[in-house]
């Protein structure tokens, strides 16, 4: 959808970015230990994500693996935000919660079109859809930082179907034991 914005408009907005400091990792849970490891076999932390995971490719969600959950972890939450979006707050690309602590990750495409047997609870992204919102930065806007965040919780969340970011963060308050982060970048040429 944003690929239709002229690159001159993207360039004019290049100084306007939500900012990494506004992601939940930094703004909502600043004092939680960042002791979880979050990785992807598709890209390394701080590097460009392959186009196949974006609106310029197949748009599937990338594979992710997490580890290092502390004792007492009862569930895991995954939140992906675009800190480079030209908006006051980061755009939400994925909300998924209540992973069992022994799951350890997601395969490629699992959050794009989850199979019914995966029983993956998904919230609303910023486009009010469930599942993975493929990165789609405006042309000329420069690189966007897609902040993949994983949280270990002391109990599963009891959320309404398809919650948004606000409802998720409110429900997580006081339950987060540890967190982890992985950042992938993407810029439309």
Q: Domain count of the chain?
A: 1
- The CATH number that applies at residue 26 is 3.90.280.10
Per-residue model confidence (pLDDT) at position 155: 97
State the Cα–Cα distance between residues 86 and 137, nearest whole angstrom.
9
Nearest Cα neighbor of 95 from 18, 186, 159 is: 159
Per-residue model confidence (pLDDT) at position 115: 57
Q: Average pLDDT of each block of 10 consecutive residues along the chain (189 residues)?
A: 46 60 95 97 98 95 98 98 90 95 94 70 92 90 94 95 93 98 93
Per-residue model confidence (pLDDT) at position 116: 57
Burial per residue of 11-37, b for 16 or more beta-carbon CB atoms within 10 angstroms, e otherwise: eebeeebbbbebbbbeebbeebeeebe
Per-residue model confidence (pLDDT) at position 12: 43
Per-residue model confidence (pLDDT) at position 92: 97
Per-residue model confidence (pLDDT) at position 16: 58
Per-residue model confidence (pLDDT) at position 103: 93
Per-residue model confidence (pLDDT) at position 17: 66
State the Cα–Cα distance between residues 26 and 7, nearest whole angstrom.
30
Host domain of residue 160: 2-186
The answer to whether the beta carbons of residues 61 and 41 sit under 8 Å apart is no
């Amino acid at each position: 959808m944003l690929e239709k914005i002229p690159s001159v408009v993207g360039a004019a907005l290049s100084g306007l970015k939500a900012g990494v400091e506004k992601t939940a990792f930094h703004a909502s849970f600043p004092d939680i230990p960042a002791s979880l490891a979050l990785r992807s076999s598709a890209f390394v932390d701080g590097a460009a994500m392959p186009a196949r995971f974006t609106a310029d490719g197949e748009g599937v969600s990338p594979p992710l693996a997490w580890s290092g959950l502390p004792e007492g972890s009862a569930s895991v939450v995954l939140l992906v935000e675009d800190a480079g979006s030209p908006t006051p707050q980061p755009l939400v690309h994925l909300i998924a919660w209540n992973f069992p602590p022994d799951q350890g990750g997601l395969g490629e495409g699992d959050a794009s079109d989850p199979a019914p047997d995966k029983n993956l609870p998904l919230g609303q992204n910023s486009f009010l859809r469930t599942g993975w919102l493929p990165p789609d930065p405006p042309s000329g806007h420069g690189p966007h930082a897609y902040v993949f965040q994983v949280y270990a919780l002391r109990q599963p969340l009891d959320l309404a179907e398809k919650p948004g970011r606000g409802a998720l963060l409110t429900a997580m308050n006081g339950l987060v034991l540890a967190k982890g982060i992985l950042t992938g970048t993407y810029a439309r040429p």
